[in-house]
Amino acid sequence: VPNTRFMVDGFRFQSSRCKHYWLSHYHSDHTTGLTTSFSSGTIYCSAVTANLLVKDMHINPSCIQPLPLNIPLLVDGINVTLIDANHCPGAVLFLFKTPPPPGSEFSEQVILHTGDMRWHPRMGRHPALKNQRIDMLFLDTTYASPKHVFPCQEDAIADIVRVMKQEAKARPGTLFIMGSYRIGKERAYLGAAKALGWKVHVNADKLRVLRLLGLPENDMALLTRDAAAARIHVSFMGKLLTPDALTDRIRAGPWTHVVAFRPTGWSFQKSGLSCRREGDVAIYGVPYSEHSSFAELRDCVKTLRPRRIVPTVNASTPA
């Protein structure tokens, strides 16, 4: 962060001149370089992310400073506010008010770092951002191309529910698999489960991590370790969602068919949900994203009107 001793999501760039490390959220591409032996300074993050760092990654708690959201705080003389990033549990934006660069007409430089973000119009109405001048915007540009057009999360979840109803009616013995990461995609599978009144099966490790996220009790009540009691099973997004792996689920019983969902913005097709069907297995690509679409990025920039934009995706230098 210019004119500070701050580093955002930059543990691979650890430096003796930097003692204040800011972690936007607990995804592995943002914690690269962070190990249990970290002792280079203090890590500032949300309470949820701090909980994960300590209890899942086993970082020394003395190196971590959880901060509340929506409250301006002073760190090393810099005014900082954390704002919900609408990404995964615990993800935040950082609003920094730093010393101005030489020759500036303003008494402070205002920098917004989005980490990973799914922009929503309500974010522009946040008290810390509404009518706030933004001098520099470090922007999550994952989908910064006009070709990346996908629906809001609510519509994507509605599509998942519609397909589940159709598939369950046509083939009553169908098991539904929802792709997920270590954290992320919770709204997709929990939203579908609420709409259909079904339970969600997770393995022991997944349940342990979910218990660290501070999810509402009614969401946690949907989860079960009993595979036979749940119509929806959560699985890692990678190799476990291949046709061969899904066919193995049928062989293990008691299901006759398996329908899996890959919830990612990369799967958008103008014709609707993509579907690959092989025998008794179907895999749907669902344009459910936890990053901003191109249209949402445009709305973000139009709303915030930053003087300068710094893209953070594919950046190879400290941010």
Span 180-220, pLDDT tens digits: 999 999 999 999 999 999 999 999 999 999 999 999 999 99
Helices (H) and strands (E) in the chain, counts: 8, 17
Q: Residue 216: which domain range?
A: 153-286
- 40 and 135 together in one domain: yes
Residue 319 falls inside a structural domain: no
| Domain shared by 10 and 122, yes or no | yes
**What is the share, in percent, of the chain residues with pLDDT greater than 70?**
96
158/231 same-domain check = yes
Q: How confident is the model at residue 318 (pLDDT cuts 50, 70, 90)?
A: very low
- In three-state secondary structure terms, 221 is coil
Is there a single domain that holds both residue 134 and residue 182?
A: no
The reply to whether 18 and 118 lie within a common domain is yes
Claim to verify: residue 17 and residue 114 sit in the same structural domain: yes
CATH for 184: 3.40.50.12650
Whether 105 shows a pLDDT value over 90: the answer reads no
User: Are 89 and 204 part of one and the same domain?
Assistant: no
Do 191 and 163 lie in a common domain?
yes
125 and 34 in a single domain? The answer is yes
- Is 133 a member of any domain? yes
Residue pair 105/274 in contact (Cβ under 8 Å)? The answer is no
Ranges of beta strands (E only) in 104-188 are 109-113, 136-139, 174-180
Note whether 53 and 183 are within 8 A (CB). Answer: no
Our count of domains for the chain comes to: 2
Kindly give the pairing relationship between strand 20-22 and strand 42-46: parallel
Kindly indicate the confidence band of residue 269, based on its pLDDT and cuts at 50, 70 and 90.
low
Contact 256, 174 (CB under 8 A): yes
Which tokens belong to 242?
Answer: 């291949």
Looking only at the bridges linking them, the beta strands covering 78-84 and 92-98 are antiparallel
pLDDT tens across 238-268, in order? 777 888 889 988 888 899 999 999 998 775 5
